[in-house]
């Protein structure tokens, strides 16, 4: 990307729009807290998600479990599909780009989507580099499995972090592992002395300034959401209790037997995550969840979480 393109993307553009500040970029993520963001492929699904109480929808070509099943290259969704989704709902619309594919991101920004997910669920376009997210006015979310990965993405300009989990598996175990790892790392940083932080930054492979910031505040400098394998209201409650501030649900809704009711139940479970009586009520009406996969029985090459670290 050349310098003039960069400037025109992040700064004041031809329409007289001012530059996007970090406050505006993380601000939208703040508004999504305590809510559920749902994967959708077409406008009809987006409407179902909005009616069920989703705080945002994520447009993608195929839900992760179908990407897993069908194979091939998974790319940014069709523009016409995203446009239809944007027309059909009043909540924010996010869309996924391939890791490192800054041209897809430029297209989504020009289209006016509200958030971009540079996602391991799609087939990576660059195996060594992520998108320079500072160069964009639209905020980005990225997946992470540990604190080093989270801080590298934040260093590149991500304004929201989510666990990677293992998308399309219907299995919560990886999201739990990733959330516990990130939270554990953060807690550890808070008890280190200042003289220990540089070594820690080197070991995490993370920018020193961000490591110091986390050590002082005891939290990530951007919102921290959960994704990858959430299929039930109980899964949503578990992730919220482990420290997630919001929930992404991918295949869990539209691969279940009754998407509208499951979507609604997961929304209520996310609000009332500490209230088991409400969790009983929202869970008991549900029919079958999506089928799940045993991660330990999977081939290393089939894992999405190892892409773009």
| Closest separation in Å from C-beta 30 to other proteins | 4
Integer CA distances (angstroms), 272 to 22, 128, 162, 265, 288, in order: 30, 41, 20, 10, 22
Is the CB of 2 or the CB of 90 nearer to other proteins?
A: 90
Cα-based distances in Å from 238 to 142, 231, 234, 280? 21, 11, 6, 14
3-state DSSP assignment of residue 94: strand
Can you point out the beta strands (E) in the chain?
Answer: 36-40, 56-59, 93-98, 115-119, 140-144, 160-163, 224-225, 247-249
Strand, helix or coil at 35? coil
Candidate segments 109-117, 196-204, 286-294, 296-304, binder of other proteins by CB under 8 A: 109-117
Between 50 and 166, whose beta carbon lies closer to other proteins?
A: 50
Q: Which residues face 226 on adjacent strands? A: 247
Q: Could you tell me the two tokens for 268?
A: 């209520």
Task: Determine, following the binding rule CB under 8 A, whether residue 117 of this chain makes contact with other proteins.
Answer: no
- Residue 118 tokens, joined: 């540079």
| Binding to other proteins in span 62-101, by CB under 8 A | 90-92
Angle, in degrees to the nearest 10, between helices 259-271 and 233-241:
30
Q: Of 81, 96, 164, 255, which is the active-site residue?
A: 96
Q: Are 308 and 120 in contact (CB under 8 A)?
A: yes
Q: Which of 94, 84, 86 is nearest to 32 (CA)?
A: 94
- Residue placing its CB nearer to other proteins in the complex, 67 or 108: 108
When binding is defined by CB under 8 A, the residue of 115, 140, 248, 254 that contacts other proteins is: 115
> Which is closer to other proteins, CB of 50 or CB of 174?
50
Active site residue 47: no
Which member of 134, 137, 180, 212 binds other proteins (CB under 8 A)? 137
Single residue of 11, 71, 112, 205 touching other proteins by CB under 8 A: 112
Regarding 233 and contact with other proteins (CB under 8 A), the answer is: no
User: Smallest distance from the beta carbon of 152 to other proteins, in angstroms?
Assistant: 24
Tokens 């920018």, residue located: 207
- Name the one residue in this structure whose structure tokens are 């009406």: 285
Stretch that binds other proteins, among 134-142, 161-169, 182-190, 254-262 (CB under 8 A): 134-142
Is position 102 an interface residue for other proteins (rule: CB under 8 A)? no
Cα separation, 212 vs 109, in Å, equals 32
- In the window 247-276, what residues touch other proteins (CB under 8 A)? 264, 267-268, 270-272, 275
Which of 18-26, 72-80, 195-203, 297-305 is the region at the interface with other proteins (rule: CB under 8 A)? 18-26
Nearer to other proteins, 149 or 235 (CB): 235
Can you say how many angstroms the Cα of residue 93 is from the centroid of all Cα atoms in its chain?
A: 13
Which of 41, 106, 109, 181 is close enough to bind other proteins by CB under 8 A?
Answer: 109
Q: Does 159 bind other proteins (CB under 8 A)?
A: no
Residues recognised as catalytic: 96
Rule CB under 8 A: which residues touch other proteins?
17-18, 20-21, 23-24, 27-28, 30-36, 50-56, 90-92, 109, 112-115, 137-139, 264, 267-268, 270-272, 275
């Amino acid at each position: 990307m050349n310098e003039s393109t960069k400037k025109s993307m992040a700064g004041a553009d031809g329409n007289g729009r001012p530059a996007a500040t970090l406050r505006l970029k993380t601000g939208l993520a703040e508004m999504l807290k305590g809510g559920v963001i749902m994967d959708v492929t077409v406008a009809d699904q987006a409407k179902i998600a909005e009616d069920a109480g989703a705080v945002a929808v994520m447009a993608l070509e195929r839900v992760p479990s179908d990407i897993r099943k069908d194979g091939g290259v998974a790319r940014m969704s069709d523009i016409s599909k995203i446009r239809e989704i944007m027309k059909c709902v009043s909540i924010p619309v996010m869309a996924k780009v391939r890791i490192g594919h800054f041209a897809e991101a430029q297209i989504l920004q020009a289209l006016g989507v509200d958030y971009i997910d540079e996602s391991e669920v799609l087939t990576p376009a660059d195996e060594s580099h992520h998108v320079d997210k500072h160069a964009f006015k639209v905020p980005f979310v990225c997946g992470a499995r540990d604190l080093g990965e989270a801080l590298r993405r934040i260093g590149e300009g991500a304004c929201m972090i989510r666990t990677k989990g293992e998308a399309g598996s219907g299995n919560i175990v990886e999201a739990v592992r990733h959330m516990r790892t990130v939270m554990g790392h953060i807690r550890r940083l808070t008890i280190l002395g200042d003289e220990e932080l540089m070594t820690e930054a080197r070991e995490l492979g993370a920018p020193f300034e961000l490591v110091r910031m986390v050590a002082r505040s005891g939290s990530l400098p951007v919102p921290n959401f959960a994704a990858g394998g959430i299929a039930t209201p109980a899964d949503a409650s578990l992730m919220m209790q482990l420290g997630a501030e919001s929930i992404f649900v991918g295949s869990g809704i539209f691969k279940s037997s009754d998407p509208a009711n499951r979507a609604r139940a997961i929304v209520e479970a996310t609000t009332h995550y500490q209230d088991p009586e409400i969790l009983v009520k929202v869970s008991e009406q549900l029919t079958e969840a999506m089928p799940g996969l045993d991660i330990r029985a999977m081939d290393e090459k089939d894992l999405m979480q190892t892409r773009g670290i």
